[in-house]
């Protein structure tokens, strides 16, 4: 797949899945605009350009509408179009219902779900005008299992699936596809921070393919879904879990 001449916006590009997606799209010829509140995203953009590809970085708080809109407006001015959006930004914290505070609930919903609404709204306006677009939202297997993180996390990720399906219906007439991916059991820095090595050793026993997933496993699916080869696929939620979720 060749993405030469296309422009992509990748959120959460500073690490994990977002970083892998940004690097992969760039290696295939796409110009990548990395959006993140974490300035490590600048290093990812610099890594891409050092390899002879094209990238830029925007420091953006994706929960603030003015931040989101101004970054997308600037990208449009400089690049003239946005062909691809991969929304990977998000947080995960472990907390049960008894200990869950309203502040934690609101923070998680804002960062995981409200940001999805704001970035897709801003980018879809561009895509509607150009009558073309590919949107992929990185959700989570927790959206359907209810496990991992807690009720606040599962609810925020389930909301992303509902938004995906609504947007896919509304935007289809503009030649825009919208899909969501549900990573589960993916070996990323965030998973290490939350669970550690003992968890990974235990969970591998419940994965039919016998290993943890990688950011590259998720990125490969993203690449397909944002390519023209996937033009008849929209409104879908696809698990990337090594067969774990429905193995029993």
The model's pLDDT over 46-66, given as tens digits with 9 standing for 90+, comes to 999 999 999 999 999 999 999
Active site (annotated) includes residue 153 = yes
Instruction: For residue 226, give the H/E element and its range.
Output: none
- Cβ proximity of 219 and 28 under 8 Å: no
Q: What percentage of the chain has pLDDT greater than the value 90?
A: 85
Q: Span 28-51, mean pLDDT?
A: 97
The pLDDT confidence band at residue 93, using thresholds 50, 70 and 90, is confident
How far apart (Å, rounded) are the C-alpha atoms in residues 217 and 247?
19
Q: pLDDT digits over 237-246, tens only?
A: 999 999 999 8
How far apart (Å, rounded) are the C-alpha atoms in residues 240 and 138?
11
* pLDDT exceeds 90 at position 17: yes
Of 206 and 47, the one with more pLDDT = 47
Q: What percentage of the chain has pLDDT greater than the value 70?
A: 97
Exactly one of 58, 132, 153, 195 is catalytic; name it: 153
Lowest mean pLDDT among 16-25, 119-128, 185-194: 185-194
Q: What is the DSSP letter of 248?
A: -
Residue 192: the pLDDT is: 65
Residue 195: the pLDDT is: 65
In the chain, the domains with their CATH numbers are 7-234 (3.40.50.720)
Report how far apart, in Å, the C-alpha atoms of 40 and of each of 31, 34, 161, 245 are. 18, 10, 28, 32
């Amino acid at each position: 797949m060749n993405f030469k001449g296309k422009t992509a916006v990748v959120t959460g590009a500073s690490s994990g899945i977002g970083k892998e997606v940004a690097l992969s799209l760039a290696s295939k010829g796409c110009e990548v605009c990395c959006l993140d509140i974490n300035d490590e995203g600048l290093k990812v953009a610099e890594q891409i350009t050092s390899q002879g590809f094209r990238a830029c970085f925007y420091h953006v708080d994706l929960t603030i509408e003015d931040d989101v809109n101004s970054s997308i407006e600037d990208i449009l001015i400089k690049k003239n179009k946005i062909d691809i959006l991969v929304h990977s930004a998000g947080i995960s914290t472990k907390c049960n219902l008894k200990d869950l505070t309203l502040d934690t609930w609101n923070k998680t919903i804002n960062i995981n779900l409200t940001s999805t609404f704001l970035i897709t709204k801003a980018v879809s306006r561009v895509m509607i005008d150009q009558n073309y677009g590919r949107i992929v939202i990185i959700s989570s297997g927790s959206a359907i299992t209810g496990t991992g993180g807690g009720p606040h996390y599962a609810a925020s990720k389930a909301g992303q699936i509902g938004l995906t399906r609504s947007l896919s219906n509304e935007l289809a007439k503009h030649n825009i596809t919208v899909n969501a991916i549900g990573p589960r059991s993916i070996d990323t820095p965030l998973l290490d921070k939350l669970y550690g090595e003992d968890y990974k050793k235990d969970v591998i026993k419940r994965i039919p393919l016998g290993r943890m997933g990688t950011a590259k496993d998720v990125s490969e699916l993203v690449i397909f879904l944002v390519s023209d080869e996937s033009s008849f696929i929209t409104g879908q939620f696809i698990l990337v879990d090594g067969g774990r979720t429905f193995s029993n």
